[in-house]
Amino acid sequence: MELGNAPKEFFEKYRQRYLDDRRRLSNNIKSFVEKKDRITRISYQPYKWLFILPLLITTTLICGIFAIFSALLFTPRTGGSFAVLWARINSFFTPMTVHVTGAENIEPGMSYVITSNHQSLYDIYVLYGWLGLDFKWVMKKELETVPVLGLACKVLGHIFIDRSDTKNAVETINAAKTKIVDGTSVLFFPEGTRSSDGKIGPFKKGAFKMAIDLGIPVLPVTINGTRNILPKGSLDLMPGGVTMIIHKPISIKGYREENMDRLMNKTRMIINASLD
């Protein structure tokens, strides 16, 4: 009987030793990665404060001024090219790499209601720099008072809404509908604010009502990785990689205000399905 149990005990002992060794290796790797992250974070700080922060301020002022004059002398679309340059310069020097998939889902000359998840201020650079569409932002009214940036956004035709005044916000969006023509799109963060935990929050109705009213498709976009570069409410900027997924447009055919929730839920499900 003892002889019969010997092989079983031997293999059980061997298995336990293997599991212990694997756990020890996993802990060592985790410790190494965390140590490497700490070293990277510490070594990045002088670069962040002495180069990146002044660069963000300088490029915002210079590109903003050029955008204002270009929009006034030529067209808002011409001025918008400086916004693309602004986004790409700041992304390059952060550095933030951007990988785009699904660009073929965009039909040239088509207007869309673009809906994207929102995890970081760096989402703005990703969308401006790599979406490849002329669009108007729907942004909070407080940004209108930011020096140069606020004026540039106003001249470029972006849409400022007062979130504390629902009636006024609706009137502003209704008035802005005339801008969404000839291949110009409108961009919403339908959550209304940045996510603090990376998960998608509830959607507001504004984007979807505009799509139904204008009769144009909804273009869902998923952005992954920006939260690791600059989390909400933090100055802990770090370099990193980002992926932007441009999904197939959703036709608004068959949707009305009465069943708008279905359109909202479908859009949210598509964006969420590709979220890391």
The whole-number pLDDT of residue 167 equals 77
Q: Which residues, in sequence order, are CB contacts of 221 under 8 Å at separation 6+?
A: 114, 115, 116, 117, 127, 131, 244, 245, 246, 247, 271
Query: What is the tally of structural domains in the chain?
Result: 1
The whole-number pLDDT of residue 220 equals 98
Torsions phi, psi of 230, nearest 5?
Answer: -150, 95
In degrees to the nearest 10, what's the CA dihedral of 102, 107, 111, 116? 0
The whole-number pLDDT of residue 241 equals 94
Q: How far apart are the first and last CA of the chain?
A: 54
Q: CATH no. for residue 92? A: 3.40.1130.10
pLDDT at 70 over 90: yes
The whole-number pLDDT of residue 14 equals 66
- Measured CA to CA, the distance from residue 212 to residue 180 in angstroms comes to 13
CA 40 to chain centre: 24
pLDDT at 249 over 70: yes
Q: Is residue 1 part of a domain?
A: no
The whole-number pLDDT of residue 57 equals 96
Q: Is residue 68 part of a domain?
A: yes
The whole-number pLDDT of residue 173 equals 82
The whole-number pLDDT of residue 33 equals 43
Per-chain mean pLDDT for the chain: 89
Domain that holds residue 245: 62-273
Residue 52: how many other CB atoms lie within 10 Å = 17
Higher per-residue confidence, 273 vs 141: 273
Q: Is residue 191 part of a domain?
A: yes
In the chain, pLDDT over 70 holds for what percent of residues? 88
Q: Is residue 230 part of a domain?
A: yes
In contact, 180 and 207? CB cutoff 8 Å: no
Secondary structure in 3-state letters for the chain: CHHHHHHHHHHHHHHHHHHHHHHHHHHHHHHHHHHHHHHHHHHHHHHHHHHHHHHHHHHHHHHHHHHHHHHHHCCHHHHHHHHHHHHHHHHHHCCEEEEEECHHHCCCCCCCEEEECCCCCHHHHHHHHHCCCCEEEEEEHHHHHCCCHHHHHHHCCCEEECCCCHHHHHHHHHHHHHHCCCCCEEEECCCCCCCCCCCCCCCCCHHHHHHHHHCCCEEEEEEECHHHHCCCCCCCCCCEEEEEEECCCECCCCCCHHHHHHHHHHHHHHHHHCCC
Q: Is residue 229 part of a domain?
A: yes
Q: Is residue 27 part of a domain?
A: no
pLDDT digits (tens, 9 = 90+) for 143-200: 999 999 999 999 999 999 887 777 787 788 888 888 998 999 999 999 989 998 889 9
Q: Is residue 22 part of a domain?
A: no
pLDDT digits (tens, 9 = 90+) for 123-140: 999 999 999 999 999 988
The whole-number pLDDT of residue 8 equals 64
pLDDT at 226 over 90: yes
pLDDT digits (tens, 9 = 90+) for 18-52: 567 656 755 654 554 455 577 778 889 999 999 99
Q: Global pTM?
A: 0.85
Pairing type for strands 159-161 and 135-140 reads parallel
Q: Is residue 56 part of a domain?
A: no
The whole-number pLDDT of residue 18 equals 59
Higher per-residue confidence, 6 vs 234: 234
